């Protein structure tokens, strides 16, 4: 095996995935030429890009390379799902120190592959360059399968706000790791690797969701994106939010209110959507608020005091 990522060559990281694992059915032409070719049966394609920077989005002493690969893919695949689309492919660009162990890069590739395999997507290309720290830029592509995309701008007064997936788990795991601990493991793993309900996105679109996004910056912050784009006010009902026992225990041990992690913690990549009130929602979607006239986001009818979520340049 090559000793460092530099020894893998320009094609090495992507080749590590594509040479050993077959491409999905949505790929017409995989890596090897100047560009790949993806099938778009719907005639439209959903595209998104996200970045992870070592020291800001992950730490190698907290997360394995495999975890980082899963997380990098999940952050982008969840954005595709939040549009009501089915993920089909991703590309990956990686900047890394030239002496980075090749085993780390190959383990990262395995994580990317395994997260993509959950939704039938393929890693179809990318690039590798020398950098002082590890930087990952992932682009994901998806097919709407004949649906209209679900935008952030469709919420209307009278709609309900609902969530599918976990909230606050990743933030609780971050708090645990920041204090030098590695348990409860379920929370630490939630920080390292999100569990995204990918198929809930197309499901919500089929039911009639009026607006949708994923929760990557925090519940209040991302609800605020919907509120701003839709020109409405969103009221979150705190009594409808789930706080699991491990989170309560950690909150008590650290002297912190776990509700704040649920309201403002990011990186769980749950799906957040609004629906007309008369619709019958799928069982796994939980109503946690309402849409009313006005602007902004409140909690139980009152302005939220404190952090609302992650802001990139604060």
Could you tell me which residues are annotated as the binding site for ATP?
A: 126-127, 152, 216
Cα–Cα distance between 90 and 3 in angstroms, integer? 26
Residue numbers in the known binding site are 34, 48-50, 57, 79, 126-127, 152, 214, 216-217, 267
Cα–Cα distance between 284 and 279 in angstroms, integer? 14
How many C-beta neighbours within 10 Å does residue 73 have? Answer: 29
- DSSP string across 192-238: HS----TTHHHHHHHHT-SEEEEESS-HHHHHHHHHHHHT-EEEE-G
CA 86 from chain center: how many Å? 14
Residue numbers in the known binding site for substrate are 57, 267
Residue numbers in the known binding site for Mg(2+) are 34, 48-50, 79, 127, 214, 217
Strands (E) in the chain, as ranges, are: 27-29, 37-38, 46-53, 86-96, 122-130, 135-143, 160-164, 211-215, 233-236, 270-275, 286-292, 296-299
Q: Residue 258 is inside which H or E element, if any? A: helix 258-264
Orientation angle between helical segments 185-192 and 169-178, nearest 10 degrees? 110
- Please answer whether residues 210 and 91 qualify as being in contact, where contact means their C-beta atoms are separated by less than 8 angstroms: no
- Please answer whether residues 82 and 211 qualify as being in contact, where contact means their C-beta atoms are separated by less than 8 angstroms: no
Cα–Cα distance between 201 and 213 in angstroms, integer? 9
- Please answer whether residues 48 and 58 qualify as being in contact, where contact means their C-beta atoms are separated by less than 8 angstroms: no
Q: Residue 114 is inside which H or E element, if any? A: helix 102-117
| Residues paired with 290 in a beta bridge | 160, 235
- Name the residue with tokens 């619709």: 279
Q: What is the DSSP letter of 147?
A: P
């Amino acid at each position: 095996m090559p000793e460092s990522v530099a020894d893998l060559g320009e094609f090495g990281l992507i080749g590590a995935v594509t040479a050993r694992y077959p491409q999905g059915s949505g790929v017409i032409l995989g890596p090897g030429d100047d560009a790949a070719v993806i099938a778009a049966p719907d005639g439209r394609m959903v595209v998104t890009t996200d970045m992870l920077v070592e020291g800001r989005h992950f730490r190698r002493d907290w997360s394995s390379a495999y975890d980082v690969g899963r997380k990098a893919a999940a952050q982008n695949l969840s954005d595709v799902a939040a549009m009501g689309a089915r993920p089909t492919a991703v590309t990956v660009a990686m900047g890394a120190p030239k002496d980075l162990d090749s085993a780390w890069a190959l383990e990262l590739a395995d994580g990317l592959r395994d997260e993509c395999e959950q939704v039938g997507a393929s890693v179809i290309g990318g690039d590798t360059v020398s950098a002082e720290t590890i930087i990952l830029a992932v682009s994901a592509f998806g097919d709407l399968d004949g649906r209209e995309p679900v935008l952030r701008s469709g919420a209307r007064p009278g709609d309900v706000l609902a969530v599918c997936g976990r909230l606050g788990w990743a933030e609780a795991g971050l708090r645990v790791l920041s204090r030098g601990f590695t348990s409860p493991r379920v929370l630490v793993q939630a920080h390292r690797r999100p569990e995204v309900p990918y198929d809930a996105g197309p499901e919500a679109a089929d039911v009639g969701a009026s607006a949708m996004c994923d929760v990557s910056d925090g519940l209040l912050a991302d609800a605020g994106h919907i509120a701003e784009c839709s020109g409405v006010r969103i009221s979150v009902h705190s009594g409808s939010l789930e706080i699991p026992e491990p989170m309560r225990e950690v909150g008590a041990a650290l002297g912190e209110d776990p509700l704040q992690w649920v309201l403002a913690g990011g990186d769980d990549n749950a799906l957040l959507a609004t629906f007309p009130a008369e619709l019958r929602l799928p069982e796994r979607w939980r109503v946690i608020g309402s849409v009313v006239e006005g602007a902004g986001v409140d909690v139980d009818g009152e302005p939220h005091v404190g952090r609302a979520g992650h802001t990139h340049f604060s």
